[in-house]
Amino acid sequence: MVTIIEIAKLSNCSVSTVSKALNNYPDVSEKTRKRIMKIAADAGYIPNATAQSLVRKKSNTIGVVYEVERGLKNLFFSEVLDAFRATIEQKGYDILLLSNKSNRGLDYVDHSRFKQVDGVLIVAGGRNLDAINRMKENLLPVLTLDPPLELKNAIYSNSYEGIKKACGYLYQLGHRRIAYIQGDPETLIGAQRHQAYQDFIEEKALKPIIAEGRFNTYYSMEEGYQTMQTIFERHGLPEAVCAASDLMALGAMRYLRSNGFSIPDDISIIGFDNLQFCEIVEPRLTTVKQDYKHIGTIAGETLLNMIENKTLDFEPILVETSIVVRDSCKKRQ
Amino acid sequence: MVTIIEIAKLSNCSVSTVSKALNNYPDVSEKTRKRIMKIAADAGYIPNATAQSLVRKKSNTIGVVYEVERGLKNLFFSEVLDAFRATIEQKGYDILLLSNKSNRGLDYVDHSRFKQVDGVLIVAGGRNLDAINRMKENLLPVLTLDPPLELKNAIYSNSYEGIKKACGYLYQLGHRRIAYIQGDPETLIGAQRHQAYQDFIEEKALKPIIAEGRFNTYYSMEEGYQTMQTIFERHGLPEAVCAASDLMALGAMRYLRSNGFSIPDDISIIGFDNLQFCEIVEPRLTTVKQDYKHIGTIAGETLLNMIENKTLDFEPILVETSIVVRDSCKKRQ
DNA sequence: GTGAAAGCGCTAACAC
DNA sequence: GTGTTAGCGCTTTCAC
């Protein structure tokens, strides 16, 4: 590995001059700068980021904490992360993957310190507020996506307005008996979505159609199936269904179809998330899109900002959703 | 940030004794070791990995290169990476994400050097062999998954046997008019799968049913749809279809269904990959499973091995596939 | 405009 | 067993 010392020798300069030339300092003559640059390039010199980090006290690396249990394999994570990466990469930052379980006995807070990251993005892992506070104690900028509790330093999709939009869309198609398949009303997101449905129903003076008492913690297909069954048995067939997740919408579709109902002819159904499979299932699922790309970009910009300005707090950011119209909803005859 | 020097002062020892104690060197008395450990813990001491890397010339970080264009959002990547991470994490390694496009003008080879990673995993990005060779020149252990060309230092699914198994399964169900929807026969994987079909047909003395001349570069739904159409128009309805990817299988299903055929009653169909949506579509797609988890684990073990033994080469590893039986194939009446 | 030298936090000879 | 010291490769005062 060729070091800055070799370059100094090759160019008959001191290491400090070489360093300044390489880093575009103003106080080195244009001529020697060019000369040194060329020599370095010819010699195949690549700086050593580790050495730079040590002296600059800056690693140009951002830690990304994610839930091992859920893995990388949810679209939420991968789409957000892609946009996040693109944003921070422009400023020369790299991503270090940090699992929420620890490496060598360190939890992710200590691990972040150990690896000297400049900031931390916690994706869907904010379960423990304590960790976030410890990050801040360590003067580490930290940012959370979709935490389970109302939190500072967080970026959310506007779930409340999202469900309102969904119900509004169904209403506009002429539906009045609109059922809701809830998530887990004890979490922040679940509560917001639930509240949105209730408010909507009240505003339009409709009758709520819901499987009271259910807590769909996983937003899964199976839960959607069962919730739809409960609703059907208690209330009969609604005109439309709004589900708090795409997977639950899909589960509901399954139940309805296996009972001989056709979608969207007999009943309209709308999901929430806009996962990839919305395009693949039949009928293609109309849904509320969470703007993952925007969330990732904003997260990147915000975190860079915090790093550069050494701020540790910012107010929550809400990202708007939008309806993606496909084939699972239809105007009421 | 509390450093080793503080701990030395607090414990009235030299820095070297502290370092040795912290790193479990044998030549420090059990008593002082315990004492120092306690003082360090109480002081909230966390070692500085950057400083350690600099002097040890080892970062305990592995670079993962992936294709920005495809993003993180393919199941292949995320499942493999999850298993890979779990494996290397046990040995104290972290993952640094490296996009195949560069950061600050460095390509990923130079970037890997810059960040001093100990080894590199290239996921589905081996398009340029040159980069891999440059890695090796730099004495960096490098390993590739699913490269487009036959390559050393690579781990593959056994595509050839996979397609053979698929065709064998259809045959065993009683089908004889078995069509094949190919990928891109000009790539390694495409060629292997194609060859497997041809060999199978020959062995069983069947008639090949294939859309000659097509190159399905993306293995996409759209390509599957069109290829199925071509096959149908040229050869009529086969008894079964073997597709070189799940997405193409899905496209074929679409085409067949929109022409009034029922799956699996009128025609059986099998895919390749075992993507998540296989469980979600109707009928659930029978397919050849690529063992992503195993690939990731093997990749981790192999790379760690290379790093520890300073080897730069290993012979290609083939990972076996298996059939996942679901609902899209049926015994011929 | 250039160079000498201190030091980032840590490890590892080597001496005692 | 413990301490002294020389670096790892680089940046950054400060003096010239």
Tens-place pLDDT, residues A156-187: 899 999 999 999 999 999 999 999 999 998 88
B252-290 in b/e form (b: 16+ CB < 10 A) is: bbbbbeeeeeebbeebbbbbbbbbbbbebbebebbbbbb
At B167 the pLDDT is 98
**pTM of full prediction above 0.85:** yes
**CATH 1.10.260.40 corresponds to the domain A4-56:** yes
| Nucleotides in chain D with any atom closer than 7 Å to protein CB | 1-5, 7-13
Give B-chain residues touching A68 at CB under 8 angstroms.
82, 86
Per CB-CB distance under 8 Å, the chain B contacts of A250 are 280
Confidence of residue B151 (pLDDT cuts 50, 70, 90): confident
Tell me the domain boundaries of chain A. 4-56, 61-157+293-319, 159-290
- Asked if strand D contacts B258 at the CB level, meaning under 7 A, the answer is no
Rounded percentage of chain A residues whose pLDDT exceeds 70: 94
User: How much is the mean pLDDT over chain A?
Assistant: 92
The distance between the two most distant Cα atoms of chain B, rounded to a whole number of Å, is: 88
**What average pLDDT does the segment A295-317 reach?**
94
Stretch among A242-251, B8-17, B120-129, B149-158 having the lowest mean pLDDT: B120-129
pLDDT at A35 over 70: yes
pLDDT at A126 over 60: no
Look at residue A75 in the predicted model and tell me its pLDDT.
67
pLDDT of residue A146: 77
Protein-strand C interface by C-beta, 7 A: A 12-17, 20, 27-29, 31-32, 51, 54-55, 57; B 1, 3-5, 15-16, 19-20, 22-23, 47-48, 51-52, 54-56
What is the average per-residue pLDDT within A291-311?
95
Strand D–CB A280 distance below 7 A: no
Q: How confident is the model at residue B100 (pLDDT cuts 50, 70, 90)?
A: low
pLDDT in tens, B272-310: 999 888 998 989 999 999 999 999 999 999 999 999 999
Q: Are B301 and B121 in contact (CB under 8 A)?
A: no
β-partners of residue B318 are: B156
Tell me, what's the pLDDT at B84?
A: 95
Judge: domain B159-290, CATH 3.30.43.10. no
d(CA A286, CA A266): 15
Taking the alpha carbons at both ends of chain A, their separation in whole angstroms is 75
Q: Chain B contact for A51, CB < 8 A?
A: yes
Q: What is the structure's pLDDT at B126?
A: 53
A281 touches chain B (CB under 8 A): yes
**Terminal Cα-to-Cα distance of chain B (whole angstroms):** 75
Q: Do domains A61-157+293-319 and A159-290 have the same CATH topology?
A: yes
Q: How far apart are CA B137 and CA B140, in angstroms?
A: 7
Strands A119-123 and A94-99: unpaired
CB contact under 8 A, A51 and B48: no
Residue B328 has pLDDT above 70, yes or no: yes
From the CA of B124, how many Å to the C1' of C9? 38
Within 7 Å of a protein beta carbon, the nucleotides of strand C are: 1-5, 7-13
Q: Which of B52, B61, B70, B73 to mutate to test the interface with A (most CBs of A within 10 A)?
A: B73
Least confident of B103-117, B167-181, B229-243: B103-117
Distance CA B141, CA B125 (A): 16
Digit-coded pLDDT (tens) for A101-125: 665 667 889 999 999 999 999 986 5
pLDDT at B127 over 70: no
Question: Domain A61-157+293-319 - what CATH class?
Answer: alpha beta
CA of B63: which chain A residue's CA is closest?
Answer: A96
**Which amino acid makes up residue B308?**
E
